[in-house]
Amino acid sequence: MLDKAFDPKSAEPRLYEAWEKSGAFKASGKGDPFTIVIPPPNVTGSLHMGHALNNTLQDVLCRFERMRGRSVLWQPGTDHAGIATQMVVERRMAERQEPRRTEIGREKFLEKVWAWKAESGGAIIAQLKRLGATCDWSRERFTMDEGLSAAVKKVFVALFREGLIYRDKRLVNWDPKLLTAISDLEVENTEVAGHFWHFKYPLEHGETYEFPIAHDENGEPTEWETRDYISIATTRPETMLGDGAVAVHPSDRRYAPIVGKKCLLPLADRYIPIITDEYPDPDFGSGAVKITGAHDFNDYKVAMRNDIKLYVLMDERARMLDADYIPEKYRGLDRFEARKQVVADIEERGLLIKVEDKKIMQPFGDRSNVVIEPMLTDQWYVDAEKMAIKAINAVLDGKTKITPDAWSKTYFQWMRNIEPWCVSRQLWWGHQIPAWYGPDGHVFVAETEEEATKEAILRYTQEGYSLEDINNMRRHEEGEAPLLVRDEDVLDTWFSSALWPFSTLGWPDETPELAKHYPTSVLVTAHDIIFFWVARMMMMGCHFMPDVPFRDVYIHALVLDEKGQKMSKSKGNVIDPLTLIDKYGADALRFTLAAMAAQGRNIRLSEARVEGYRNFGTKLWNAARFCEMNGCVFDAAFDPASARETLNRWIIHEAGKTVEEATAALQSFRFNDAAGAIYRFAWNVLCDWHIELAKPILMGEDCPAKEETRKTTALVLSEVFKLLHPFMPFITEELWRESASRETALIVAPWPEAKSLPRAESAAAEINWVIGLINAIRSARAEMNVPAGAKIEMVAVAAGPAPSLRLDLHRELIARLARLSSIRLADAAPKGAVQIVHEGGIYAMPLAGVIDIAAEKARLAKEIEKCVKEIEAVDKKMSNPSFVERAPVEIVEENRERRIAFAARQEKLAAALNQIAEA
């Protein structure tokens, strides 16, 4: 006996445990493999709404495919999240007033991180389970576990040997708070209020030139002033101390007289050349640009092109260096203090022309939120441009399909303009780069130190060193030291994530899982990590594997808050999915997310919607209770094709249509369409009509029709459980178990097949006629203010043989649902009756004395008005010759029929109006 309502709190953990124990999450069976690798959440993380959506959709697909008999592997795991995790642990150490990481050293620190991971790293996994995620937890991986580390090493070494990974000294995005380089993607450019300072750089030897200050309409100069300086503008005055030149555009005639000469770099008291380069825009600012090659990406390029000296100004914390080219007073100052000082000093010397307020784009570290400083350092790079080629082609050729297709454009755009990927990070938590340096600075890349050492010995031997020399190399003044010193840096977290689709399956070993499940079927993710992750998996997968990492990429929405803002911890606008699960159950949250996951659109989550879908679950629960109370028990031996009753054939027909619709939608990732179709069928068709229409039979005398109806109803309800299971796994599984004795759990039950639910168009037409009539009667009753409880008589006027038969067949149903006391046939409508027109028939309800003549007149007039409007619309179309000529025949025919139907209806209504007017 079913309880009064479903209790998610007690049922969910119980059901989940049963599924897991049963081995349902394992990729067994002989079906076609269906594989999804989970976007590994950060070990530091907890489940947010984005995860909830992402994993709901993956779980919907996995459950759907599992029921369709495929051998489903949903590969789970977590990401070590280098920067984030290191930050979390360091913060915790600080809170506990423990020694800093630099004080305890690398090894001790890493022990602490591992300890932390062991202690609280599993939180998000538990939360995924609460959502109902059917990952194969026995295969859980971590990006820093042994197997994945082996994959990382192998990939790094291979790419290095192929020349696709290299070490280079160039400008990188430096995070002065986290003290590491970061990639372009980890920089967030934000517009901030800044200033634009205009400085004079005096010319050498007090030289002067004529600078045009007014022009005629042709742009010819008309007025000049004599200048002994060149005017430059900057948003970062402190960097002037590192200027190596001033550049102007070669076509800029204003500066032609002084090109090639030198100007004084104030404060630094150096002379720097005035050069030409294509970079300066003559129409912007003064047209002259100070070139600070070591602290600006553009300037760096100019400096490289023109062989301009670079002056590194700052240390790793962005404090001014103690360097001989920096005046003493600035040394040791923070860059922002230095800025103030520089401006003050320039002004004091009378070299400040003006200061403008200006909005500027400033780069911030996405983790640290401090201003990123371009710094000249040695880092490791992946030659992304070369690796992108195969990845681009794979999508072009359709080997990987991105859905919605609009995102492939974004993918291409980024891939085609890709920059070298800086993969080294000056952190401790992560995959330490497998590179070792010899005494002469030569780098040896190998999977192990032994191999690197072997290589080193080989190289030095070939260079003519004897074994003894090599041994001597190991000796420092202090004594024994290793020949090679390992690179301290670790790899970008995304480097290991990029290998996820094959590293989790066992690569580089040739495991059975790899053979069976690669390429994976679909990657489900949000668009904000297309660059970070999808693109890089494509590059790595296409390079190291014989095929693409996934056949489909499904890009889903971002979940936003009610104001349409991205949820973020810093904004404090996060809606916790677990709170919603506690309140409404996991099923309600899942269904809401799926129902709102329309392609190409973001989701603004509203709690009312979750509540609404929780109610849907309850509705289904109650339908099942009804079935239970009325002996509708699932019978595996019952064949829906054997159903004879019209009502049963109709509901089977409708169920078949729904199966088709939901299946097609799920196959093409239209989650919202699938959810909507199932919802409408379950509530608006099965509950609202079938169950209501079935009541008289179910509650009547025992007979074959009753037995068939019981079995049909139970069967259709079972089909709903199946269809709904991917979306609402808990409540459907519970009902599945409670409503019949079954051989298998719902989670592994076969997905419904449309072909086993035969269509019955004539039955559908008949039942729809009944439904329509009931609707019409109800509507008229309400409008005539007939009390809901009152039973009234109905007279079918001059009904033809077909409607008469239908009326006769469904007399009891119609009477019950429309609250009629009797139904009889007559040749004319009785006086003082409300008359309705349904599919050409007139149905009158005599309301002797009760009827409000004026109200009935108004009602009929309103109905007639509707017909007139429809007819007018059709006439307008039909009277247009080109419509009849050019529109498809079936459209024209449809309109013709429409006209006939409405005209007939209007005629009947008019007759009714006429009659009532006489009365």
Q: How far is the CB of 565 from RNA (least distance, A)?
A: 7
Q: How far is the CB of 490 from RNA (least distance, A)?
A: 23
Residue nearer to RNA on the CB measure, 253 or 601: 601
For residue 549, the number of C-alpha atoms closer than 13 Å in the C-beta half-sphere is 31
Which is closer to RNA, CB of 13 or CB of 787? 787
Nearer to RNA, 782 or 917 (CB): 782
User: Which of 469, 897 has the CB closer to RNA?
Assistant: 897
538: nearest Cα among 557, 553, 526, 521: 553
Q: State in angstroms the smallest separation of the CB of 721 from RNA.
A: 14
- What is the residue-wise DSSP string for 599-651? TT--EE--HHHHHHHHHHHHHHHHHHHHHHHTT----TT--GGG--SHHHHHH
| Closer residue to RNA (CB): 425 or 556 | 556
Q: What is the closest distance, in whole angstroms, from the C-beta atom of residue 269 to RNA in the complex?
A: 21
Tokens of 218: 């042709």
Q: How far is the CB of 379 from RNA (least distance, A)?
A: 17
Cβ atoms within 10 Å, residue 674: 28
Alpha-carbon distance of 160 to 745, in angstroms, equals 51
Say how far apart CA 276 and CA 306 lie, in whole Å. 9
Q: Which two tokens stand for residue 416?
A: 């085609």
CB nearer RNA, residue 158 or residue 776: 776
Q: Which is nearer to RNA, 286 or 718 (CB)?
A: 286
User: Would you list the DSSP string of 733-766?
Assistant: HHHHHHHS--SS-GGGSPPP-GGGS---HHHHHH
Beta carbon nearer to RNA, 398 or 789: 789
- Shortest CB 428 distance to RNA, Å: 27
Question: CB-wise, 219 or 888, nearer to RNA?
Answer: 888
Q: Closer CB to RNA, residue 751 or residue 902?
A: 902
Sequence-ordered list of residues with C-beta below 8 angstroms from that of 144, at least 6 positions apart, any chain: 80, 430, 431, 496
Cβ 199 to RNA shortest distance, Å: 10
In the complex, the smallest distance separating the C-beta of residue 564 from RNA, rounded to whole angstroms, is 6
Residue 404: asked if its preceding bond is cis (omega within 30°), the reply is yes
d(Cα 201, Cα 228) in Å, to the nearest integer? 9
Helix H or strand E segment including 78: strand 77-78
Is residue 277 a contact partner of residue 244, using CB atoms and an 8 Å limit?
A: no
Q: How many CB atoms lie within 10 A of CB 627?
A: 25
CA–CA distances in Å: residue 371 to residues 16, 189, 335, 338:
47, 10, 10, 15
Nearest distance from C-beta of residue 293 to RNA, angstroms: 12
CB burial string 547-586: b at 16+ within 10 A, e below: ebbbbbbbbbbbbbbeeeeebeeeeeebbebbebbeebbb
CB of 590 to RNA, least distance (A): 15
d(CA 853, CA 833): 9
Please give the full DSSP string across 512-577, using - where no structure is assigned. HHHHHH-SEEEEEEEGGGIIIIIHHHHHHHHHHSSS-SEEEEEEEPPEE-TTSPBP-TTTT-PPPH
Q: Which is nearer to RNA, 16 or 199 (CB)?
A: 199
> How near is the Cβ of 234 to RNA at its closest, in Å?
5
- What's the min distance (Å) between Cβ of 339 and RNA? 13
Q: Compute the distance between CA of residue 244 and CA of residue 310 in angstroms, rounded to an integer.
A: 6
Residue 619: CB minimum distance to RNA, A: 5
Helix 646-667 / helix 704-724 crossing angle, nearest 10 deg: 10
List, in sequence order, every residue forming a beta bridge with 797; answer none if it has no partner. 826, 842
- CA dist 770 and 772 (Å) reads 5
Q: Which is nearer to RNA, 560 or 829 (CB)?
A: 560
Indicate the residue among 234 and 663 with the shorter CB distance to RNA. 234
